[in-house]
Amino acid sequence: MTDSGQRRTGAQILWECVVREGVRDVFGYPGGAILPAYDAMLEFPIRHVRVRHEQGATHMADGYARASGRVGVAVATSGPGATNMVTGIATAMMDSSPIVCITGQVGSRLIGTDAFQETDITGVTLPITKHNYLVTRPEDVAPAVREAFHVARSGRPGPVLVDITKDAQQGSCAFDYDAAAPARARRPVPRPCADEIAAALALINAAERPVILAGNGVIQSGTSSALRALAERAQVPVAATLLGLGGFPASHPLSLGMMGMHGEAWVNTAIQESDLLIALGMRFDDRVTGNIRTYATGARKIHVEIDPAEVNKNVKVDLALVGDLRDVLDDLLPGIAPPPPGRRAWLARIRDLKGDSAVLDIQNLPDNGHLYAAHVIHDLWRATGGRALVVTDVGQHQMWEAQYYHHDSPRSLITSGGLGTMGFALPAAIGAKLARPDAEVWAIAGDGGFQMTMAELATIAQEQLDIKIGIINNGYLGMVRQWQEFFYERRYAATPLLSPDFVALAGAYGVPGVTVSRRSEVSRAVEAARAHRGAMLVDFRVEQEDTVYPMVPAGAALHDMIRRPSPIAETGADPD
């Protein structure tokens, strides 16, 4: 389609490009420098969700992108509107989430004069975007916006910002959509050569104790089925990063679950005892490896990664396959040989490790009448059949969710992994619900993180969204308190937390709620929330000083875990 000869304002060109990118839902907050764009928006089939804070807009766009695989869009005005987006942009950058942020800027003649609500937002966001643009002429709007969408979704996905001056939005020019096609589209994605694929197959086919490490790249590239085929054909167990959960079915016999700082003991032990690690779309961050010097020292390492900058950045590998994960798995699968005899003994060893850990699982301890967060998450998983789309905040509840809600499908867990952004869950759940309106969406937050963005309850009420909200309320900034307990002699500086009556607060927005303080009430409350048509909040009052086990202390070796005390110590029961 060509639009040669049509004359449009920069604001109209902006929305024409956004619509042609397939976007119908955008999240934003208006202001003076972006008003021309908001005025022109009324001419286009756009559903605009007016947020209560621009940070919320970026998390909503992020949740929209992670739930759907499509690019999310957030809009804000200049100055404080734009800078309020920074945390959300950094969150998307760390977790490779494709979002496009559109900001208004003061008139081009005022740039550099400290004009009202002027901020150099492209300078501010330079380190936390894949790319950003300052557009000062209407002629440059279409090329910038089209390229922004391409950059956001291509290669390793990530956030892009387009800052458009007010006069560029108001001015007009001839508009030709096709002529504005992004030149960067011609950059090919690399693909490993035949010798590299052969070398990887030789390592995989010969290994007796291999482990696959599945990261966010598995979900981003849509290669869950290919990963499953590889694991089953080679009989290799699969461990997942936090962001990789759901990329391989948790119910599969070869699933190990989450690795790293709060990974189960059997997962980390298996990694340390392995002779080959096959890392797929993950970046070996410090929460995954523990002390790098002691990380899987007996294992050869293959790293499949689309971003060459991540290769050998944290962990030196024996073989790097740089390329799209789908292409690499397609190349590897035909060459996978039947597993060697030693592979069977390896799987038996892992079964033994799981059995050893099961005796320490809080789910297997006698009910002492107390409500633990693990009970809440486990009961939520059972009630929903594991089919809910869960969006978590950051902290202890995030780790309990990863341990006790077993994800069988991709894009069923949305969480802030890299930046660890408290306040993420509620707005990201809004974006996720709009991206997948038929999904049962639960926002799970701690009492601390929830209070950072709880104003978005108004957005839920305004948009009449059916989102269930579970607050794991322990009266503390729980994960920080846990570190104080372990490493600062229980000196709980600034972590006890006063909270409002969350049920009453939700009620003020027209959202019903219920408080739960006993385990026997959990299932009934969850079912009531699921049966209610519309949003509902459940305030789970859990044990205040509960702890996430296991835990690898920062800087320690992966096998040096702090394990849950034995059942005898936990219950005080007589061993005889």
Residue numbers annotated as active site: 54, 116-117, 166, 479
Integer CA distances (angstroms), 500 to 454, 521, 539, in order:
11, 22, 11
Number of neighbouring beta carbons within 10 Å of residue 329: 20
For 153-183, the three-class secondary structure string (H helix, E strand, C coil) is: HCCCCCCEEEEEEHHHHHCEEEECCHHHCCH
Fill in the amino acid letter for 318.
Answer: D
For residue 540, the number of C-alpha atoms closer than 13 Å in the C-beta half-sphere is 31
Q: How far apart are CA 157 and CA 130, in angstroms?
A: 8
Answer for the pair 78, 119: CB distance below 8 angstroms, yes or no. yes
304 neighbors 328 (Cβ within 8 angstroms): yes
Residue 525 has φ and ψ, to the nearest 5°, of -70, -40
* Bridge partner list, 541: 473
H-run or E-run covering 377: helix 373-384
Contact 414, 432 (CB under 8 A): yes
Q: Could you say which DSSP state residue 279 is in?
A: E
**Residue 124 φ then ψ, to 5°:** -65, -40
Q: How far is CA 317 from the centre of its chain?
A: 26
Q: Report the distance separating Cα 332 and Cα 393, nearest Å.
A: 37
**What Cα–Cα distance (Å) separates residue 251 from each residue in 228, 248, 321, 351, 386?**
12, 9, 29, 14, 10
φ, ψ at 93 (rounded to 5°): -65, -45
Query: How far is residue 161's CA from residue 307's CA, in Å, rounded to a whole number?
Result: 20
Tell me which long-range contacts 565-569 makes (C-beta under 8 A, separation of at least 24).
565/360, 566/359, 566/360, 567/359, 567/360, 567/364, 567/365
Distance between CA 106 and CA 35 in Å, rounded?
11
DSSP of 413-473, one letter per residue?
Answer: EE---SS--TT-HHHHHHHHHHH-TTS-EEEEEEHHHHHHHGGGHHHHHHHT--EEEEEEE
Query: Residues for the chain: how many in total?
Result: 576
Residue 366: beta bridge partners?
A: none
Reported as half-sphere exposure (CB side, CA atoms, 13 A), residue 151 has a value of 21
**Burial (0-12, 13-18, 19+ Cβ within 10 Å), 112:** exposed
